[in-house]
Amino acid sequence: MSSALQNKTVAILATDGFEQVELTEPKKAVEQAGATTRLLSIKAGEIQGMNHDKPGDKLKVDGLVSDANVDDFDALILPGGVANPDRLRMDESAVAFVRDFYRSGKPIGVICHGPWVMIEADVVRGRRMTAWPSVRTDLRNAGAEVVDEEVVTDKGIVSSRKPEDLPAFCKKIVEEFAEGRHAPRT
């Protein structure tokens, strides 16, 4: 176990329909590097994971995003799945949390369809990012510079395209999360 993220707390924001490995693998990576994680959601209790189009595990939620304070966290992970970010972007407290996190300059890891929440928060303009192919047009239309690479980092925002990118994504989020806050983004 590494200590790169010792004494850091990482928020993971998800709801029903998250792509299971896009939550569990980054969670495991940051915890192995010494971080504490907290699973935030728009609903209490448990949320349903997905293995592509089949139900996966249910995970216990640690707290509601509506009660969460950006100041209590050092980094944020936004997993994908189609339904998860689509539901999150319809919830104002989730969108506000992502917007405030972005403005804080703290690092964010986002994968697959996860950028939909960042697009809704209007925080991708001018950022260099990647995502699942069907999300790339949305990113472009929201003002991001879109590339097709396994992992992309821009001012503390780490983005990846799909589950196959997880090894590179997990390695890069640990590195960026260890660096900590970046200059406030505008």
pLDDT of residue 102: 96
pLDDT of residue 83: 96
Question: How many Cβ atoms are within 10 Å of 83's Cβ, its own excluded?
Answer: 16
3-class state of residue 158 by DSSP:
strand
Which residues are catalytically annotated?
112-113
- Residues whose CB is less than 8 angstroms from the CB of residue 22 and which lie 6 or more positions away in sequence, other chains included: 79, 80, 81, 111, 112, 114, 163, 166
On the question of pLDDT at 184 being above 70, the answer is no
pLDDT tens for each residue of 44-95: 999 999 999 999 999 999 999 999 999 999 999 999 999 999 999 999 999 9
User: What are the two backbone dihedrals, phi and then psi, of residue 5, each rounded to the nearest 5 degrees?
Assistant: -115, 20
For a pLDDT cut of 90, what percent of the chain falls above it?
Answer: 94
CA distance 78 to 98: 9
Tokens matching residue 68: 């969460």
C-alpha 135, offset from chain centre: 15
